[in-house]
Amino acid sequence: MSKRKFDIVCKELALEYNTSDRKVKQEMKIAIETAFKNPTTEQKAFQDTIPRKGEMPTYEEVIDFIIQNIK
């Protein structure tokens, strides 16, 4: 997903939930950090399938992974 499309999706979510797109992105980041903090063996195995540049994926990387796997 392009950055532009991602920003549009975040703005739409923000409107739907009466918040800011910045808050939507912040909550996604917190959710990812929480999930990666202390995963079970099964969760870690799944997390290892998410392509990423760093130790933890960005919200863009997670969204791209989800989109690719629901097609």
Residue range 17-27, pLDDT digits in tens? 999 999 999 99
Residue 25 token pair: 């992105």
pLDDT, residue 37, reads 94
Domain membership of residue 16 as a residue range: 3-70
Residue range 28-71, pLDDT digits in tens? 999 999 999 999 999 999 999 999 999 999 989 999 999 899 86
pLDDT, residue 3, reads 81
pTM of the model: 0.81
Residue 1: pLDDT band with limits 50, 70, 90 = confident
Number of folded domains that form the chain:
1
Q: What is the DSSP string of 21-55?
A: HHHHHHHHHHHHHHHHHS--HHHHHHHTTS--SSS
